[in-house]
């Protein structure tokens, strides 16, 4: 079967080798076996890829050399993120020029692309404005780079939201270092509804009695309040968590699990290692607890209606 005929065999298929639903044209496909054999032999790409040809190795090496990068660095980045092979040379050059114009170096840009190829889609003017605003947060140049390189969404947040939230989070964290750790571990605090973030903080502080420093060093704020609550109540009911006595010196160690062990672990680890029970017992508890909360909410609504 001629290579050009392959394009008429597939409609809106992007991953030919893994796709099970092929829309075949009867003029050129006789069996699914033949299709698989053809794909393996010719390593065809979809129509989208034909329209956006893969950048060859020599071109990547040349772009890397022009930007002062080690010759094989872009090739290694493509190995880590194969989708980068679909970028045009102009896209790559534009991206690295934008990086240099904003006081970053090409190694920083390469690290960003390796983590998330979406960085290639950045609007240069928007990128410049956002970088400047992050610098104004005074987190330190290296801290800022580390944050932005690890999370593409931080460059998509509106400037007004950054200006509003960073001071609030700084108050919670106490130090710039703690703030950076919080943003690294819990990126949701910048994008989630602020009331939802406050509710989680309040629960951790007033109900579970954790100090701010413990909260910001964990990944608790990246969890939902529902998850935090279920794990806390589960530990209470199986006798593995007792609310600290406010009269006792907070520096005195208690037998409660650390916040990180409560919120930063998988369901299986939490149930078996932290609560010392089985995963099945925790899953049953979650179902019953959800029903319990639904019933409480229903009763509350009924009482409110009767009062009116």
Q: Are 176 and 141 in contact (CB under 8 A)?
A: no
Could you tell me the two tokens for 13?
């298929």
Q: Which domains does the chain have, with CATH numbers?
A: 3-50 (no CATH), 200-308 (1.25.70.10)
From first to last of its 308 residues, what are the pLDDT tens digits of the chain? 444 333 333 333 334 333 333 333 433 333 333 334 433 433 333 333 333 444 566 667 777 777 777 767 777 787 887 877 777 888 888 888 888 888 888 888 888 888 888 888 888 888 888 888 899 888 888 888 888 887 888 888 888 888 889 999 999 998 888 999 999 899 999 989 999 999 999 999 999 999 999 999 999 999 999 999 999 999 999 999 998 877 766 656 678 999 999 999 999 999 999 999 999 999 999 999 999 888 866 654 555 555 55
Look at residues 244, 241, 227 and name the one whose alpha carbon lies nearest to residue 285.
227
Could you tell me the two tokens for 116?
């998330």
Cβ contacts of residue 234 below 8 Å, gap of 6+? 275, 282, 285, 286, 289
- In 10 A of CB 3, how many CB atoms? 9
Torsion of CA 276, 278, 283, 288, to 10 degrees: -70
CA distance 30 to 28: 7
DSSP element (H, E) containing 125 = helix 124-136
Could you tell me the two tokens for 256?
């409660």
C-alpha distances (whole Å) from 212 to each of 70, 217, 248 are 44, 9, 17
């Amino acid at each position: 079967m001629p290579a050009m005929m392959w394009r008429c065999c597939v409609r809106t298929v992007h991953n030919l080798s893994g796709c099970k639903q092929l829309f075949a044209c009867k003029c050129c496909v006789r069996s699914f076996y033949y299709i698989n054999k053809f794909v393996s032999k010719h390593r065809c790409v979809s129509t989208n890829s034909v329209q956006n040809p893969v950048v060859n190795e020599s071109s990547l090496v040349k772009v890397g050399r022009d930007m002062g990068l080690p010759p094989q660095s872009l090739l290694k980045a493509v190995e880590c993120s194969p989708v980068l092979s679909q970028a045009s040379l102009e896209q790559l050059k534009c991206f690295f020029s934008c990086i240099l114009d904003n006081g970053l170096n090409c190694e920083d840009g390469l690290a960003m692309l390796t983590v998330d190829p979406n960085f290639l889609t950045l609007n240069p003017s928007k990128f410049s404005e956002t970088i400047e605003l992050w610098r104004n947060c005074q987190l330190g140049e290296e801290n800022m780079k580390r944050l932005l390189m690890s999370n593409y969404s931080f460059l998509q947040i509106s400037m007004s939201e950054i200006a509003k939230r960073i001071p609030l989070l700084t108050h919670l964290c106490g130090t710039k270092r703690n703030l950076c750790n919080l943003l690294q571990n819990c990126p949701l605090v910048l994008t989630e509804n602020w009331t939802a973030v406050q509710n989680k903080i309040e629960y951790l502080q007033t109900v579970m009695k954790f100090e701010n420093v413990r909260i910001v060093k964990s990944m608790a704020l990246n969890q939902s309040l529902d998850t935090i609550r279920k794990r806390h109540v589960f530990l209470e009911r199986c006798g593995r968590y007792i609310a600290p006595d406010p009269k006792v010196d907070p520096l005195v160690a208690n037998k409660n699990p650390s916040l990180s062990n409560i919120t930063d672990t998988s369901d299986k680890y939490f149930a078996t290692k932290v609560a010392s029970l089985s995963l099945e017992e925790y899953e049953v508890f979650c179902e019953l607890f959800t029903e319990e909360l639904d019933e409480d909410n229903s009763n509350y609504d009924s009482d409110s209606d009767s009062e009116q």
